[in-house]
Structure 1
C-alpha cells in the first residue's frame, strides 16, 4: 500500500486467463460506488480550498450535441407546449442519457465472462437496482485536475488532429502533468482535454455528418493498455473525464484491449465522455493553475446504465 492506504496496482488480484487486475475486493462485493469511495468528506473539504475566485465554468455540451448522434442513438427531440394561458412546459423525447456530456455507469460494460464491476454476471434487467447509476446521485464532488493534452500536443507534435486516433500513453500523461507542474492525488477527478470538442465545434453540418458516419467517431484518446490502467489506479483517481466520445483512443486495437473493461468494469473507475474543457483550459493556462473544485451530480435513475453529467468547475 501507499500513503493513501490503497493497494498499488501490482498488488491487486488478477482475473483468470486475461490477467486483468481488479479492485472488486478493495471496495466490497455490494459496493455501487467503486473509486467514488475515494471522495471522502475530508477530501471534499480540502477540495473546496481550490476555490479562489468563485468563477464557475460549465463543462457540458448542449444536450442536442453531437448531431448527428453516435453509436446508433436517435436524435433528441425537444417540444415546448402551452399548459395554460400564461404557463408553458416542455418535453424531451428520444433522450439518451449517454448521448452527450455523460458518465458511463457500472452497468454500461461487462468484462467478458467475468461480469460487470464486482463480478455481477447477470444482465442489467435481472440486477434490480444493483450497480445502477442512482448510487452516484449524491454527487461526484472533489478536486479536479485538468491535463491539457491538446496544448501539449500542439507544442510537441504540431498538426496532430483530435480525429486522428493518437493514443495518449501513461507516460504522455505523466509528461503533461510535469509540464503543467500539477500533482494528481487520491480522490481527484482527472480531466483530460484532447481537443476533440474544439475540432468538432468548428465543423459545419457536412463535417459533423462525416464524423458520425458509421456511428463510431475516430478520436485521439487515452491508451487502452494495462500501463494506463495501472497509472490511473496508482494515482487513485476517483473518476476520469475526457472531451472525446469514448475516453480511450478510437478506433481501438483488439490486440491491446479495452480501457473501458480495465478501468470501468475491473477497477471501478467511472468514465466521463464528451466534456467541454475549452473555456476551462483557457482559464487554467491564464494563471497556470490546473486544479479546481469539481461538481457533477448524476441523475438518480434507478438501475440506470449511465447519466448526463452536468459538470461545473469552480475556480
Structure 2
C-alpha cells in the first residue's frame, strides 16, 4: 500500500544518473522492492483531500470502448467477443485480447532501460505470474486522487499545430499552458494532457483510420517532447501518473537523437503512463463549472504478471 509522502524527495537534478542513457533515475527512492513508483505519492491523506473536489457528483468516463481505435493501432489484431449459452445462462469470452489495445496503462514491465533493466534496475524477464513490477499491484489500490487537465490543443491551436502530425510539445509550452489555464499542479496529482489527437482521429473517415493503423514507418501524433526537460518537469511537479489522449503520451514516431520518454519517465522515474484517454466530455464538464481539477479514479486489472491494463477510468466532478 503506497504511504510515502513527497517530503524530502530529491529534485530531478539531484537524482542518480545513468550517463550512458543520459537520464536521471529514481530507483530506490521509494524502497528497493518498490512496485508503485510515483503512485506512492497517492497517500491516504491526499486521496482523502482529493475527495473535497467533488462538487456535483457528475461521473464521466475517460475510457474508450474496448474496440476503439478501430482498426487497432500498432498493427495489433482486433479481439473476438464470444458469447456462450449454458442452459438458461450466458457467458462471454474475449479471444486475442490486448490489454493495451485501447485506453490503457503502461506498466513497469512495458519498457526496459537497455542492459540496466526495468524500473528499479530489475533485470529478470517478465513472465506470466511474475509478481515483480506486475500491473496487479496498481490494481490492488487503484489510481485514485486529484486529477488536473491541461488542454495543450487549446493553448497551441493555430496554423502550425496539427495533433495528427509529429509535433513535440516542450516543457516550456506545458508550463505556459498550465499557467494560462490556471492549472495548479500539486504533489500526487494525476496529470491529464489533452493534445487533441483523439478528437482529430475521430473526425477521420474509415479509410484514413485504416491507413493510420497500418503505418509501419510510425504513427504520427503530437505529444510531449521526449527530452530531459520534460522528465525534469514531471518529476519536480511530483505527479503520481500522467494520462494523455494520444497513442503514446510522447510525440510519435519520435526522434532517436532526442530519446524515449517511455524510458525517461516510465522506466527511469517510475511515473505511470496512460494512453488514449478520452478527455472530450471531461473538458466540457470542467468548462461548465469553471474549473480544472476533479477526482480521478482508475482501477487497473488485477492481472498477476501483467505488463499493462485497460485504463478503466472515470472522473468525478
> TM-score if structure 1 supplies the norm length?
0.95
**Does 2:41 align with 1:62?**
no
Aligned residue runs from structure 1 range 281-296, under 5 A: 281-296=283-298
Deviation of the 1:4 alpha carbon: 3.7
How many angstroms apart in 2 are the aligned matches of 1:19 and 1:127?
A: 33
Deviation at 1:125, TM superposition (A): 2.5
Deviations 1:128-181 (A, max 9, x none): 310000110110000000001111122xx2462211111111111111111111
SS in 1 for 2:40: helix
- Cα distance in 2, alignment partners of residues 282 and 253 from structure 1: 33
Cα pair 2:222 2:246 within 8 Å, conserved: yes
Which residue in 1 is equivalent to 2:185? 184
The 1:143/1:95 distance shift into structure 2, 3 A limit, reads same
Aligned partner of residue 165 in structure 2, secondary structure:
coil
1 CA distance for matches of 2:153 and 2:282?
13
Q: Secondary structure at the match of 2:57?
A: coil
| Deviation by residue 1:61-114 (Cα, 9 ceiling, x = unmatched) | 0100112112231111112232223x3222111110000000000000101111
- 104, 108, 111: which one aligns with 1:109: 111
- Residue of structure 2 in register with 1:194 after alignment: 195
Gaps spanning 5+ residues in structure 1: where? none
Number of residue pairs the alignment of both structures matches:
311
Moved more, 278-287 or 294-303: 278-287
User: Considering only aligned residues, what root-mean-square deviation do their CA atoms show, in Å?
Assistant: 1.6
Cα pair 2:129 2:304 within 8 Å, conserved: no
Provide the C-alpha distance between the structure 1 equivalents of 2:74 and 2:254, rounded to a whole number of angstroms: 15
Of 253-262 and 62-71, deviating more is 62-71
1:49 matched to 2:35: no
1:95 match: secondary structure = coil
In structure 2, the CA distance between the partners of 1:127 and 1:8, relative to structure 1 (3 Å rule), is: farther
Cα deviation for residue 285 of structure 1 reads 2.1
Paired with 1:159 and 1:255, the residues of 2 have a C-alpha distance of 23
Question: 1:233-312, aligned counterparts within 5 Å?
Answer: 233-312=235-314
CA contact (8 A) 1:180 1:288 kept: no
Residue ranges of structure 2 left out of the alignment (5+ in a row): none
Distance in 2, matches of 1:192 and 1:54, equals: 22
Secondary structure of the residue aligned to 1:284 is helix
Q: What is the rounded CA distance, in whole Å, between the counterparts of 1:42 and 1:74 in structure 2?
A: 42
Please give the TM-score of this superposition, normalised by the length of structure 2. 0.95
Query: 1: CA distance between counterparts of 2:128 and 2:87?
Result: 42
CA distance in 2, matches of 1:232, 1:223: 12
- Matched residues in 1 for 2:267 and 2:189: separation? 19
Aligned to 1:145: 148
Q: How far 1:204 sits from its partner (Å)?
A: 1.8
Q: Deviations over 1:276-309 (max 9, x none)?
A: 0001111222332010000000011001100111
Following TM superposition, by how much is the alpha carbon of 1:271 offset from its aligned partner in structure 2, in angstroms?
A: 0.2
Q: Residues of 1 paired with 2:148 and 2:244: CA distance?
A: 12
1:127/1:231 CA distance change after superposition, 3 Å? farther
